[in-house]
Amino acid sequence: MFNLPRLLLHSVAMAGNTGAPLLLRLVAASVSVAEKAGTIVRSVFDSGELGVVEKDGKNDLQTQADRSAQECIVQSLSRQFPKVTIIGEEEPTDETVDESHLVTGLSEEVLKAVCPQDLQSVKDEDVVVWVDPLDGTKEYTQGFLDHVTVLIGVAVKGKAVAGVINQPYYNYKAGPGATLGRTMWGIVGLGAFGVERLVPPADKRIVTTTRSHSNKLVTDSIEAMQPDEVLRVGGAGHKVLLVIEGKAHAYVFATPGCKKWDTCAPEAILHALGGKLTDIHGNALQYHKDVKHPNTGGVLATYSDHDWYLSRMPESVKAAVKP
């Protein structure tokens, strides 16, 4: 019921949509912007000029795609929603804005949706948008393109309530003629669209975790889950999609490496489908504008049996990974 056709994007003047609730307009704009950002990510890769720099070591990279995609997202949304707080992963630059990166279109599919009643009167000052312009940067530079996502999460009063995920290289191994890329969006209380919830295998337990940020805490927590298979992949968005699409039962990351812009969009879409994302203690993540960016309590995402995974978390790990 959640697998809708590819979203139709159409430029609609803001003045013509003043009747739509703020949240719907913001998600509609984010879908259009995420599509454009995904195109930028592919264009930079195709150019061969990735412009890689290290931010905090070899496992924390930034590319021209990160920088240009963030400019696209933040500048486009801030011009349409100047009173909304927008927090991006990358530091702002002093470079002149590339006007070709700006997007004013809104997704008609989103605008046709009925906004949940509890979100119809959301005010600008209650909203924080969390942006990861290219989740899975290291994998992007290494050619693991299916790990890459563009993440735009919307929080209201500290709670993740809506998310947009663009997967620029979805279907990239499908061969000539396949549609490249997809965009998913969801609102808690409404549902998720562009992605289908699938059930994982019943005869084994599959856990997904980090590919490049492992340590003893991560290893100990994974072993405690007694998995039959461990998928070590890049990108928080990608790992939550593995849970949603039934390729993994749980995403377990018992270390503080993940940030709010990594989890806000995936959490909202997972919750919209009935799943759950918390820290490893079972606490809800907070997304206020003044909150610390790292998810210091780690991340646990599941579609079912969340309490079982929490119960399996070693006490030594919980003592070391504090909220």
Residues annotated catalytic, as ranges: 66, 137
DSSP string, 108-122: HHHHTS---GGGTT-
**Secondary structure of residue 48 in the 3-state scheme:** coil
Sign of the Cα pseudo-torsion (68, 71, 74, 76, in order): negative
C-alpha angle with apex 273: 70 to 132, nearest 5 degrees?
10
Q: How many helices (H) and strands (E) would you count in the chain?
A: 9, 15
Handedness of CA 160, 164, 166, 171 (dihedral sign): positive
Q: The dihedral of CA 226, 227, 233, 234: what is its sign? A: negative
Distance, C-alpha 96 to centroid of its chain: 27
Between CA 263 and CA 266 the distance in angstroms is: 5
Contact call for residues 8 and 110 (beta carbons, < 8 A): no
DSSP string, 83-146: TSEEEESSPP--SPP-GGG----EEHHHHTS---GGGTT--GGGEEEEEEEEE-HHHHHHT-GG
What contacts 47, CB < 8 A, 6 or more positions away?
A: none
